[in-house]
Structure 1
Amino acid sequence: MSKKSKALSLSLSLTLCLMLILSACSKNDNASNNAANNKPANETKNNAAASNTDDSAGTNNTATDNTEKPQLDKVTLKFVLLGEAPKDNEAVMAEVNKKLEADINATIELTYIPFADINTKYPLVLASPQDWDVIYGNINYGSNASKGGYHEITMDDVSKFMPLTASATSEGQWTDARVNGKIFMIPQTFKELDVGTGFYREDLRKKYNVPEIKTFKDLGAYFQALKDNEKGMLPVDGSASDIQGIFGGLMKNYVLKEANYITGFFPDDPSYTITGLLDDAFKAKFIEAAKTMKDWADKGLLPKNAFAQKTAASDLAKEGKSGYWANAFENYAQYSSDMIAKGWELGAVNNLTDSGVVMTRPATGNGFAFSPKTKNYERALMAIDLLHQDKAYNMLLAFGIEGKNYTLNGDGKLVVAQADPNPYPMYGAGWWSNNRDQWPPLESYTQQYIDTKKALLEKAGPYLLNGFNVDTTNIKTELANIVNIDKQYSAPIQMGLVKDVDAAVADLIERFKKAGAEKVVEEVKKQAAAFVASKQAQ
């Protein structure tokens, strides 16, 4: 997220989502920021680095256009990103804007939407399309696109204004981005694992001779060792969503879709079946996971105050107060670097199905969409072309300023500046869709990380339903009721806080049914079947 990194989703189903808001968006309507100011396509194409060189099979683009550049009126592009600006963001963006002004006479003005407020604030941003030009677009992409939330992008537009993107993007990736046959997002062009990961202190696991952790259920022995021996640390501490995330790991890569544990899927199911608590086979798995969580909670291995805890497990872990946290696998390298800086060692357990299946994100897992009211559409396309696919921009946005935020060693590996906290962390600035195939390997990559990623990639592949988004128009009332029931009755089950798991689950299902769960399941199944059919026909 994946906070993708980002991330992610998290398909960890660890019930963590990348969620955001726009707290303030500039209302200025600069008359000079008008698409009419952009020069004809044959000129702007040259200006968009059409003569870039390619050092690495299409992945190492750097703008080197020495031809006379057309005169473009200066514009300011208003971007909406997710998360929070890191400490060194202003300095990094100053360098980006210096380059962008020289290349296409544009600068970028950023607004960040905090992760926690996606449900309320992201729709508000879309409702004010005159106030922004470009937005991180993977939030309910299909639904928002079909409702006119984004500007349509034609392949002619891409050819004219995005030569690097046209070269780097496969037909399959464009297919992922199509909604009702039209494109509304410039998607990512790199292959990304869509797997959630639980992280822990490998140095402590070894110290206390805990058996190797291969599944989430194996965490129990590790949690017990920390409870018995690490007096200044809880086995796991964090918010309610952090603890529910462990339950998600026990559910073995069940991917939630809209109604938590009522509608979802397992990505090794070739029939693309939507399943959940109203199905007996799924209910049995849910109860088994809930009983494991209760066992751990009864032993004092899980916190009892998670509902009141506002600090995330990842932040507590950095302070040595929590022995476990979770996020998308793509955060592994940054966490490993953070641990090394403290003299610790990172361990990880990945959220896989029983058959070991791993999904890759659809190309729409990360990407940028454009306001249907933008006056700078062509220039925004040119900017995204450079930001995504030109290596000089890519390195700046991904890692910061060379010599300050990172260096390259003699082997060409990237060395992240050792600082706590890192003033410009990898995946920390919201530019998750830039081409990661251009990135050099990090010096901090451990052999465990290299081996784990290689093994995951060998089993990784796309899954149609992973790009499916539910149109909630016909089930808004039912979903609102279900969300309230989920918070009050399902969350305590997932966190191990109920006295009788079987009775609590039976009561939960009845409450869901009274709230309209059966209507929701029917609607989601209908939409999922139509989505699969449409994708298979393309």
Structure 2
Amino acid sequence: MRIKKGMSLTIVIMLCVMLVLSACSKKEAATPSAAPSAAPAESAAVATEAPVVEATPEPVATAAPLEKVVLNFVLLGEAPVDYNAVMAEVNKKLEQDINATIETKFIPFGDIETKYPLVLASQQDWDVIYGNIHYGENASKGGYREILMDDVKKLMPLTDKATTAAQWGDTLVGGKIYMIPQSFVELGVGSGFYREDLRVKYNVPEIKKAQDLEALFQAVKDNEKGIAPFDGTADDIRGLFAMMVDGWLTKRELPQVFNFNPDNKEFKVSGLMDPDFVPIYTAAAKTMKSWVDKGLLPKNAFAQKTSAYELSRVGKTAYWGNAFENYVNYEAEMKAKGWALGAIPALTPNGTGTQRPATGNGFAFSPKSKNYERALMAIDLLHQDKSYNMLLAFGVEGKNYVMNAEGKLALAPGIDASKNPYPMYQAGWWSNNRDQWPPLENYSEGYINMKKDLQAHAVSYLLDGFNVNTDKFKTEVANINNVIKQYAAPIELGIVKDVDKAVAELVDKLKKAGADKVMDEMKLQAAQFVKDHTLQ
């Protein structure tokens, strides 16, 4: 769908205009970058013969100064100790750059569901709000102001340059934009984590994909007492199965019925109703069964109530899974115990991962704000100008943080990490461009390099943000979920006797539960979603 274009505020900068010919009665509009044009040759000749009369220059027209405004922002969470001091520095810069200052109010996380709607209802009391709370629903109900791309191009040049068409596409609701989204690459990549020290200890080959874990699991089983190769809840074990499904990602609200692969540019929807997907699913199931038979995976995962991560912290499992972004915290925990961390991100065979939807962080505007244009200008600087970005993310250099000799960011001397007065991610400004941030002091080179590589191969895949509307098939969904619990879970845990027979039975049960109808409807919804979220 096409985005409507509209008129936006134009900041006119008048150049010095000289009166060249006093007889001219028609004036042409000057352009800011126009250079004086050369005079025709015959005109130049006449000018040399006639007496030269110097023209009196017109007075220089200067741009009208921007009127001072106060922008009211609504953020989420709580202000850290040094927040006011940091914002004082931000406001000094903003006042100088665009003659505006910011006042902020916070909605505590625990009060978001009750207080956020109240703020939206009082549209005259705020200008800008953190817009990632039920974004699509609030936008469609008139809670936010529509943002025109003309306004972005004229008032937010840094944002216009930094934000991709796919990121703008994420924001579309009914073909319109209601949020300035995050422009940075936020990885939506799951990952398997393992004890790298044990891999090195037993000379296990490098682990690049989930299937490579077998050698590590076997070495741990054969040599380590008290450490399971992999132990955890049934969901933990099924998470490993998902790592093996050859790049296909699953919408967990309807397991195995809706799958997508970010390498597929046609946004294909697949699943166990698709004969081409069944062999992929079956191959992963056979690997899981083989590992259970070898004693590398637990046979009683349904009985385990402690998560794999918690077991890893006390040295009782060599593997666990979670989001890749937990790498830094996990690495610090492992290092404190004298262990080392390894990771295998969940990628396609082509090495592709996904970005989180750009609407995960961003600002929306009050439909009744009188300061919309100035707010756009402010956010352009706050998000994309590195000097503002660093202030909002880390505080005042020298007071809150310092840059060390390696070019990494560290806490300023005397600041206890547990009592940091301005901790990263806790000041409510999460949509600033994180791609500009330097690495932190505790980031290992392994993490830095792996993250850079992941970001270079991460794609913003539209179907990753697609939510299925189940209104037309609620009964079928309930029946499908029952089938999944009874028939799919044992297959994925590797505890069935005959994988081929079990998968065939699962497909048959899904069909009888109405999975074909659900798949057909979801394909239609997915196609419409892609159309609605693609800039034309």
TM-score in terms of structure 1 length:
0.69
Report the CA distance shift for 1:246/1:507 in structure 2 as closer, same or farther (over 3 A).
Answer: same
- Give the alignment of 1:500-519 within 5 angstroms: 500-519=498-517
The equivalent residue for 1:180 is 174
Matching residue within 247, 256, 262 for 1:261: 256
1:492 aligns with 490
How far apart, CA to CA, are the structure 1 residues paired with 2:441 and 2:504? 51
**Could you say what secondary structure the match of 2:517 adopts?**
helix
1:420/1:95 CA distance change after superposition, 3 Å: closer
2:88 is aligned with 1:91: no
State the shift of 1:250 in Å: 0.5
Contact 1:244-1:491 within 8 A present in 2 as well = yes
Deviates most, 362-371 or 196-205: 362-371
TM-fit CA distance, 1:209: 1.6
Cα deviation for residue 309 of structure 1 reads 5.5
- Seen in structure 2, the aligned counterparts of structure 1 residues 348 and 163 have a Cα distance that, compared at 3 Å, is same
The residue aligned with 1:242 is 236
Structure 1 residues 331 and 273, CA, compared in 2 at 3 Å: closer, same or farther? Answer: same
Q: CA deviation at 1:211?
A: 1.9
CA contact (8 A) 2:180 2:364 kept: no
* CA RMSD, 1 decimal: 4.5
SS of aligned partner of 2:276? helix
Contact 2:165 2:535 in 1 (8 A): no
- Indicate the structure (1 or 2) with the bigger Cα radius of gyration: 2
TM normalised by structure 2 equals 0.69
Q: How does 1:307-456 map to 2 (within 5 A)?
A: 312-354=307-349, 356-361=350-355, 364=358, 366-368=360-362, 370=364, 378=372, 385=380, 388-391=383-386, 394-395=389-390, 398=393, 407-415=402-410, 433-453=431-451, 455-456=453-454
Q: Residues 193 and 105 of structure 1: is their aligned pair in 2 closer, same or farther, counting only changes over 3 Å?
A: closer
Distance 1:138 1:331, change over 3 A: farther
Kindly tell me the number of residue pairs found equivalent between the two proteins: 460
Instruction: Quote the offset at 1:464 in angstroms.
Output: 4.7
Distance 1:77 1:529, change over 3 A: closer
Q: Which moved more, 1:248-257 or 1:431-440?
A: 431-440
Aligned to 1:106: 103
Which digits, 9 at most, give the CA deviation of each residue in 1:473-515, with x for residues without a partner? 4334433443444344433332234444334433433333333
> Partners in 2 of 1:293 and 1:284 — Cα distance?
14
Which stretches in structure 2 are left out of the alignment for 5+ residues?
1-7, 12-64, 95-100
- How far did residue 222 of structure 1 move? 1.4
- Structure 1 residues 459 and 71: CA distance shift in structure 2, 3 A: closer
Q: The residue matched to 1:527 in structure 2 has which SS?
A: helix
SS in 2 for 1:269: coil
Deviates more, 1:478-487 or 1:158-167: 158-167
After TM superposition, give the deviation of residue 206 of structure 1 in Å.
Answer: 0.3
Change (3 A) 1:77 1:368: same
**In 1, Cα distance between equivalents of 2:381 and 2:439:** 22
Counterpart residue identity of residue 496, structure 1: G
Pairwise CA distance, 1:455:
4.7
Q: Which residue of 2 aligns with 1:137?
A: 132
The runs of 5 or more residues in structure 1 that have no matched partner are: 1-39, 44-66, 115-120
Tell me the residue number matched to 2:33.
none
Is the Cα contact below 8 Å between 1:314 and 1:325 reproduced in 2? Answer: yes
- d(CA) in 2 for partners of 1:457 and 1:331? 15
Q: Does the Cα contact within 8 Å between 1:130 and 1:373 map onto a contact in 2? A: no
Q: 1:430 to 1:229 in 2, by over 3 A?
A: farther
Distance of 2:115 and 2:242 partners within structure 1 = 30
Cα offset, 1:275, TM superposition: 0.7
Matched letter for residue 388 of structure 1: H
Q: Tell me if structure 1 keeps the 8 A contact 2:158–2:384.
A: yes
Matched position secondary structure for 1:280: coil
